[in-house]
Amino acid sequence: MLILFFIVPAYLLGSLSFAVIVSRTFGLPDPRSHGSGNPGATNMLRTGRKSAAALTLFGDLAKGWLAVYLARYFGVQYGIEIPTTYGAAVAVFLGHLYPVFFGFKGGKGVATALGILLAVSPWLGLATLLTWLVIFGLTRTSSLAALSAAALAPVFAGFLIGGMLPVISLTFISLLIFWRHRGNIRRLLSGEEGRITKPSASPRE
């Protein structure tokens, strides 16, 4: 039961949809009502406010990092570091995807997942980020880079961390990312997925 004191706050923290919060602060349209309908940094770029997109990216990443960091910090004191760390990781991610404060309509979770990985292990987060950068640099396709990084994150975790719970938890998160990108996957397979060809273009994610 003690672990619930870590999981519930992590879920609630994840439920803070920064795309919606930033949009309301800036007086911008709800990101769920235009573009891809995804409340994330990529769709926020379509508003033309790069500062709003940057704040959304930072907020989504930071909440993933903070939830896992706090769960690990306090979990150590109770001798339950591993279950609290990965329980919070899954909970904050589910909060982002299905936020209780915003009608359970959340984002695709890429930035939040990166924050989680950086909190679990900076090397794990950097390896995953490097994967995204390499694939994006080769293809100029944001969604393909995100899917490639998500697929390799549990593999990196197996080598860098080990243990069943870390690998299983991060595999679950990766599978959720694939599920949320199922529309992108269909477009990738049909050759219709958008590519970023110049800085002013907005990626389709």
Question: Which sequence spans correspond to the domains of the chain?
Answer: 4-190
| Residue 198 DSSP SS3 | coil
pLDDT of residue 160: 95
pTM metric for this prediction: 0.90
Closest CA to 90 of 179, 176, 152, 169: 169
For the chain (length 205 residues), average pLDDT per consecutive 10? 89 93 83 72 74 90 97 92 96 97 91 97 97 95 94 96 95 97 94 69 42
Residues 6+ apart with CB under 8 A from 164: none
DSSP conformational letter for 150: H
